[in-house]
Amino acid sequence: MWLTNSFLDYLQCERNYSEETIKSYREDLRQFEEFAREELGDSAPSEVKAELVREWIVSLMDKGYASTSINRKLSSLRSFYKFLLRKGEVTVNPLQKVTGPKNKRPLPAFLKESEMDKLLDEVNFGEGFKGCRDHMIIEMFYTTGMRLSELIGLDDKDVDFSSLLIRVTGKRNKQRLIPFDEELKIAMTEYVNVRNESIPVRTGAFFVRENGERLSRSIVENLVKRNLSKVVTLKKRSPHVLRHTFATTMLNHDAKLGAIKELLGHESLATTEIYTHTTFEELKKVYNQAHPRA
């Protein structure tokens, strides 16, 4: 006897699991019990060995289940056997040494260099302060790789035009310096001049609204999405896509992974390594500097 109903009652009454979660557990356990009966006949949970669980995993993979779905089913089965152990129905958990398939980490979405060139050099962002600001924001994301929170938190005092350095405050309030080139300096100087002339009264924020206040996340997200839509049909069109584009472009031009890690402010090199698995469509020979707009 599999005691599945007793386990589901326990989840509902004692663990307060939702109906949808219990429904998923029920289906996962039904699938495994059906598989076990086909392999072992009219068996009990105590007869299940690790080998059978591994065979079930293989059968699920053969049927096209994603690794995330398989691991969720294994999680349901583990919880069930822990319940049976507490009840004294089994003496050994057959899943103790079973590991599921590794979840595939999704590759980051990014724009091609030609698409970024078209966006920055050909697309009309509009006249006046807002057009100048929005263009500057897109260019800043692309040429520095900074996060959305870092961009909106940027103050005038954080930009050192003489040393060509930007000080940003990243995750856990960790600060780092991002270098920039003369081309970005010219663009930022132009933006600052337009901003100061158009909005004489403002906060100390580098990027501001028309009322002088610091930009919000939603404003930046919307303007990035709106302008990326002019050159690409990517499902994701967020500021983070531009951060991915920065990293991918740098790698395409032979920048070292460790240097990109520092520029992005990653804690671990493993986080940066995801970009090495991206299919680079525009790999070119390295020239003087890694970034194509440098």
The residues annotated as belonging to the active site are 147, 171, 240, 243, 266, 275
DSSP 3-state of 167: strand
The continuous run of DSSP H or E covering 177 comes out as strand 175-179
Give start and end residues of each alpha helix (H) in 41-159: 50-62, 67-87, 113-121, 128-144, 148-152
Tokens read off for 131: 């057009």
DSSP structure class, residue 164: T
Beta bridge partners of 178: 166
Instruction: Give the relative orientation of helices 19-40 and 50-62 as an angle to the nearest 10 degrees.
Output: 110
Beta bridge partners of 208: 214
CB atoms within 10 A of CB 81: 21
Question: Please, are residues 185 and 193 in contact by the beta-carbon 8 Å criterion?
Answer: no
Tokens read off for 202: 């403002």
Q: How far is CA 75 from the centre of its chain?
A: 24
